[in-house]
C-alpha cells in the first residue's frame, strides 16, 4: 500500500515550457487535491476533484489545468510555465465527506518545481 505518490520528485523548466505532474493513490479515495506551498504562504489549494471525471477550482487556479480520468489519478498541468509557478506542489486525497464532516486528507511527498 503505497498511499499517495507523486511523479516527478524534482523538475526544472524554462519559461514557456509545459509539463504534467502525476498524482496516484491506492486507497480508493474519492476526493483528490492539488496544493502549492511557498515560503510564508502555507498550503494554497489549486484545484480539487470530488470524483472521477469532476474537477473544481481552488484558491489559486490560474495557469493550471487538471484532469481526473481515473479515480486513482489526478493530473496537474502547466501549459506555459512562468517563474511565479516555482514552488513545491503537494497532492492529497481523502474519502471525502461523511455524516460528521470531512475525512482526513493524506498528502503525497511533493514535487519541487523550478521555472527559470
CA nearest to 26, candidates 74, 87, 77, 66? 74
The nearer residue to another protein, 63 or 107, going by C-beta atoms, is 107
Could you tell me the CA-to-CA distances from 22 to 95, 96, 99, 100 in Å, in that order? 19, 20, 31, 31
> How far is the C-alpha of 66 from the C-alpha of 115, rounded, in Å?
19
Closest distance to another protein from the beta carbon of 93 (Å): 12
Min CB(102)–another protein separation in Å: 4
Residues engaged in binding another protein (CB under 8 A): 31, 33, 35, 40-45, 48, 50, 56, 58-59, 90, 96-97, 100-102, 104-105, 107-110
| DSSP label of 39 | T
3-state secondary structure of 84: helix
Closest distance of CB 3 from another protein, Å? 10
Please say which residue, 58 or 63, places its beta carbon nearer to another protein. 58
Q: Which is nearer to another protein, 31 or 64 (CB)?
A: 31
Amino acid at each position: 500500500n503505497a498511499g499517495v505518490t507523486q511523479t516527478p520528485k524534482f523538475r526544472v523548466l524554462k519559461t514557456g515550457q509545459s509539463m504534467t505532474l502525476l498524482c496516484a493513490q491506492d486507497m480508493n479515495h474519492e476526493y483528490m487535491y492539488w496544493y502549492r506551498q511557498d515560503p510564508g504562504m502555507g498550503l494554497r489549494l489549486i484545484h480539487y476533484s470530488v470524483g472521477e471525471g469532476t474537477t473544481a477550482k481552488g484558491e489559486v487556479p490560474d495557469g493550471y489545468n487538471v484532469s481526473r480520468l481515473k479515480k486513482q489519478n489526478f493530473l496537474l498541468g502547466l501549459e506555459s510555465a512562468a517563474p511565479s509557478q516555482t514552488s513545491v506542489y503537494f497532492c492529497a486525497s481523502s474519502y471525502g465527506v461523511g455524516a460528521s464532516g470531512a475525512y482526513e486528507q493524506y498528502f503525497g511527498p511533493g514535487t519541487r518545481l523550478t521555472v527559470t
